[in-house]
Amino acid sequence: MFDGYTSSELMSIFAMQGFAGLSLFSVFVLMALGLAIIFGQMGVINMAHGEFMILGAYTTYLTSGFFQSYLPGLFGGYFFIAMILAFLICGALGALVEWLMIRHLYHRPLDTLLATWGLSLIMQQAYRSIFGAREVGVDLPEWMMGAIPVTEMVDLPINGLFVMVIALSVAVGVYLLMYRSGYGKKVRAVVQNRPMAEAVGINSAGIDRATFALGCGIAGIAGAAFTMIGSTGPSSGQAYIVDTFLVVVFGGAQSLIGTIVSAFGISQAQSTMEFFLSGSMAKVLTLLVVIGILMIRPEGLMALKVRR
């Protein structure tokens, strides 16, 4: 397939393909981190994860409308405000959902699956009633559109770079929170041994609520970021949920590093194969490889070693 191309053309294509892989990687990381926290740390299968992301996207949509009408001068920077709002709103809703629903179901993990699936349907229909069934277009400030031309053939998409920066910041933030803060220590203690953690005085119910809210808040940030590359509609969240679970399960449910390694592996495999095969075939092969590896390592790539 490379007949008739000069070596410089090939170099540029490979450079851009590498960039495509990295930007897919950052998308996966953003999608999966929130879920990894909820699923990995709490064992709750949150089927409404995609809908929380879309809540973040709608928050961005509303913020952009607000800035256009009332603060047009500051429109260029609205996106940062939108992301913070998305985090807060999704986190708050997450805490509410935990209090109303999830905390009653901790001992029935499969029921959380059904309950959160029901929640996702309710949220979708709520979006449809509030925002209409049609997708909404989120206006971006001028500086976030287009590409940086590096050479004649290589263009780096600005929104791709921006998603990478967000993914990196969120990942670093989560790492600091989980491994360098008192809260993180408590979360890890509760994950490893709940009764003992409670015995030493950790409020495990509070930790659960904060953790669920954090996961939902990160989903909100992801949703805000994805308005740049994807659609914002009542059922857009469905497009992300399968890939998200794939990344988290493949990485090993209880390991955040595993999630990141798995996001990297899957994104590179998929974008390389997409280049040489058709899109659908690439997806099929990726899934086959993941299933194969999970058969050998049912715990995922990075299993947490815990004495049971």
List 249's β-bridge partners, or say none: none
The region of 97-105, 199-207, 228-236, 290-298 touching other proteins under the rule CB under 8 A is: 228-236
Looking at residue 142, the DSSP 8-state letter turns out to be G
One character per residue 114-133, x = contact with other proteins (rule: CB under 8 A) = -----------x--x---xx
Instruction: Give least dist CB 37 to other proteins, A.
Output: 22
- 75 touches other proteins by CB under 8 A: no
- Which residue, 202, 238, 291, is CA-closest to 124? 238
Chosen residue from 100, 114, 126, 147 binding other proteins by CB under 8 A: 147
- Whether residue 164 contacts residue 22, with contact meaning beta carbons closer than 8 Å, is answered with yes
- Whether residue 37 contacts residue 106, with contact meaning beta carbons closer than 8 Å, is answered with no
One character per residue 151-180, x = contact with other proteins (rule: CB under 8 A) = --x-x-xxxx--------------------
- 60 touches other proteins by CB under 8 A: no
Distance between CA atoms of residues 143 and 109, nearest Å: 45
Residues 201-220 binding other proteins (CB under 8 A) are: none
CB atoms within 10 A of CB 180: 10
Residues 249-288 binding other proteins (CB under 8 A) are: 270-271, 274-275, 278-280, 282-283
- List, in sequence order, the alpha helices (H) in the chain: 7-35, 42, 49-70, 78-100, 109-131, 158-179, 182-192, 194-199, 204-226, 238-251, 256-276, 279-296
Binding residues for other proteins, per CB under 8 A?
5, 9, 13, 16-17, 19-20, 23-24, 27, 125, 128, 132-139, 145-147, 149, 153, 155, 157-160, 226, 228-236, 238-240, 270-271, 274-275, 278-280, 282-283
